[in-house]
Each structure stands twice: as C-alpha cells, then as structure tokens.
Amino acid sequence: MRLMKGLTALTAVMAVTGCSTTYYGEEEPQANPTEAVTNVTPPQRDPADLQVLFWNDQQRNARFRRMEDWFAGLEVAPGVEPRKLAHGKPLSPKIAAQIRSFMKETNATGVMVLEDGQLRFEEYRLGFDKSQRWTSFSVAKSFTSTLLGAAVRDGFITSLQDPVTKYVHGLVGSAYDGVTVEQLATMTSGVAWNEDYTDPNSDVAATNHFVLEYGADAIVTQMRGLKREATAGEKWVYKTGETNLLGLVVENAVGLPLAEYAKSKIVDPAGFEGGMFWMTDPRGGNIGGCCLSLRLSDYARMGQFVLEGGPDVVPDGWFAKAGGPQVSFGKGFGYGYQWWTYPDGKFGAQGIFGQAITLVPEKKLVAAIVSNWPTASSNETRKRWVKLIEKVAASN
C-alpha cells in the first residue's frame, strides 16, 4: 500500500480546506478500528479565512470552540465509561482570586484544577462553558507522544532506537537517515528547520507551497529536502514538522489515524466525558503536532491519566521519561518526549494562544487552562502560569 505522508501542523490549520478519511499504512491495518470515529467535513471556506494566526479576537473567541466548523477532521465518541470528578476541598479564596485575576488578565476562557483526582477549582469566562470544546494547538503534541508510547507497548514500534526511515520509507536518502524515533520525539534530529511564522522564507511558511504543489505528499517531499546542521542527538530545535513526522511514524506502524488509535488508548481509558475532534490533513490522517479539541474537563482528565502513569496503555515508567528533561535548557526547564519540563519535577503540554495541561506529580495535582491570548505566544505569560500553579500546589 502507498506510504502515508503528513503535513506541518499550524500551517496545516491555515491550509486544510477539506479531505477524505482515506488513510494508508506501510502494511494492512494491524490495530482494531473502531466505529466510534466519524468523518467531519465542514462547509467549503475561503482559504483566506482559514489563516488562524490572523484571526481577530472576536473570531478566535468564536472559532476556537468550534474548529470543526472550519476544518476537516475526525470526531471521536466520548469515553465508554466517563471518569467522574468528585468535588474535593475548594482552593482557598486567596488562591482562587489569583487564578481569576490571571484568567482576566490573559483572556483565559477556562481553568480546572484537580488534586488527587478530585475537583478543587473550575471557572469559565467569555461565554465558554463545560459543555463546549476548545482547540489545543500544540497540546496535541503530548497526545501524539502518548500514542507513541502505546504503539511501543503494543509492539507496533519495536524500539525508540529504531530509525525513522523504518516507518517512513520516503525519507531514505535524506538528512533523516540515521535519526532515531527517540530523537524525533525529543526534537534533536539535527536537521535544520526554521519555524518563524513571521518570516516568509521560513520552512513553516514554505509549507503552503508544498501543500499546493504536492498535496498528500507535501510533508515528506519538504522534509526530505531539508539539510543537516548538527549531529543527530546533539542539538534541540523546536519543529512542529517533526511532530507531524512522529504522528506519521505512529500511523504507519499502527495502521490507523491517530484519532482512531486514541479512542482505545486515551479517550476510553482516561474516561473523557465529551467527544474529541482532531483535524486531518490532505492524506486523511491526523495532524500529529496540532489541533485536537476537547472539553476543559477532558484536558484535565488527560492530565490525571498521565499522572497515574497511563496504566495498561504505555510501558511502565513511560511518563517518567516522556515528562522528564531529555533535553535541558537550564534552571530546571527542558523538553522530554513532546512534553515541556519545569523546575522541581513539574511537566506539561502547552500550545499557542494559552492552552496548557500542567502536572505537579509530587502534589498529585493537574491544572488545565484554555485561552484566547491576544498574541500566539508569550514566554512571560507562560512563566506566570507555571508560577501560579506552584502557588496552587503549595496552598492547602
């Protein structure tokens, strides 16, 4: 069967206008497909209106909660047995007030805090509520990483030391020769990549050209043309394109789209209360580095599932490695397998415009936030969020 090929994440959001759900693996599908996954095909849109980075505040507020109205994807049914979130002791009025202030100052739409699996804080703003979903952006990367762990446990991926080219044959003869699956997961391939969305000559900006020119073959065509800038394993560079390759590795190995595999490996075992929407690219496979949508409570349930170790889904000890600093940036910050690591053992998933799942294992605490920041990224605001969660964890 024909090799599956992917599409770079955020630019895919700007480029995808529709697709089928046909997907292809290296072999016949090996995992059991589920009927609880359906195709979503939105109305045809003007491509100019799909430029997410250029949506105004009002458009973001309305569309971030209804991305399925704008982009094609797969809809996954809720968990078979939704996890109940029992109410625990409310956070102190002082801490709760600080969270509300942060939400107002940063244009957050929802925050939920769990401790030891119990609900301690839940708040919504800007017309968002517990029944609605919100887009994830790069929080999806950590879901893809979890599915990588599942594929390892299930035996679809033999080892993280396998070469990427074992699962994506189209990269044979490229700068990805000799790069391992683990190096892809830690973004240490040593392959040069420019992810500056303000630079019209960047690699991420060039993705639109490759999509228009090569369609379903865009990602492998583009990625195989990249040059090496460092020895594999020696240099970290953030590359959403490589997370899409990681998703492609999983899809080719398992024989299912990420969303379909996630039904039995994340949605059901984590006990999601609502459905999940995950965008697709021109192949009909899912965008590994971006763009699934969940209820706020299900982002928190994902955090709780991870905190508990993903029992019977990923290898034992998987999240100690995945959520540990495989790459260190100094002062306690680093990067694991598609998870960001913070001081004192904290780690989390994060996406542009203020989306995050933050875990404090020592306190058995999970904090989920969804937002509509006025700018796509802000290191200062991100650090403020981590500091705030430190205060929450230290409180009674």
Helix 240-254 vs helix 203-214: crossing angle, to nearest 10: 40
Give pLDDT tens digits for 272-292.
Answer: 999 999 999 888 899 999 999
SS3 call for 358: strand
Structural domain containing residue 281: 9-77+91-394
Q: Which residue carries 């690219």 as its tokens?
A: 281
Instruction: Give dist(CA 30, CA 47) in Å, integer.
Output: 36
Instruction: Say how far residue 131 (Cα) sits from the centre of its chain.
Output: 21
CA atoms within 13 A on the CB side of 124: 14
Cβ–Cβ under 8 Å, residues 128 and 339:
no
68 in any annotated domain: yes
- What is the reported pLDDT for 14? 40
2 in any annotated domain: no
What is the pTM (predicted TM-score) of this model?
Answer: 0.92
3 in any annotated domain: no
Instruction: Give dist(CA 170, CA 165) in Å, integer.
Output: 7
- Region for residue 386 given its phi and psi (left: phi exceeds 0; alpha: psi -120 to 50; beta: otherwise): alpha
Instruction: Give dist(CA 135, CA 53) in Å, integer.
Output: 14
The number of domains in the chain is 1
Instruction: Say how far residue 313 (Cα) sits from the centre of its chain.
Output: 18
Q: What CATH number is given to the structural domain containing 119?
A: 3.40.710.10
Q: Which residue carries 């102190």 as its tokens?
A: 92
SS3 call for 118: strand
179 in any annotated domain: yes
Instruction: Give dist(CA 276, CA 77) in Å, integer.
Output: 7
Instruction: Give dist(CA 181, CA 164) in Å, integer.
Output: 5
Cβ–Cβ under 8 Å, residues 167 and 180:
no
Residue 198 burial by CB count (10 A; 0-12/13-18/19+): exposed, middle or buried?
exposed
CA atoms within 13 A on the CB side of 324: 6
Tokens of 50: 């799909």
SS3 call for 136: coil
- The one-letter amino acid code at 11 reads T
Taking only the tens of pLDDT, the chain with its 396 residues reads 223 333 333 444 544 333 333 333 444 444 555 579 999 999 999 888 888 888 999 999 999 999 999 999 999 999 999 999 999 999 999 999 999 999 999 999 999 999 999 999 999 999 999 999 999 999 999 999 999 999 999 999 999 999 999 999 999 999 999 999 999 999 999 999 998 867 878 887 777 777 778 888 888 998 999 999 999 999 999 999 899 999 999 999 999 999 999 999 999 999 999 999 999 988 889 999 999 999 999 999 999 999 999 999 999 999 999 999 999 999 999 999 999 999 999 999 999 999 999 999 999 999 999 999 999 989 999 999 999 999 999 997
83 in any annotated domain: no
Q: Which residue carries 């290191």 as its tokens?
A: 379
112 in any annotated domain: yes
H helices within the chain, ranges in order?
9-15, 57-63, 93-106, 139-153, 181-185, 203-214, 218-224, 240-254, 258-262, 268-270, 296-307, 318-322, 379-394
85 in any annotated domain: no
174 in any annotated domain: yes
Instruction: Give dist(CA 276, CA 261) in Å, integer.
Output: 12
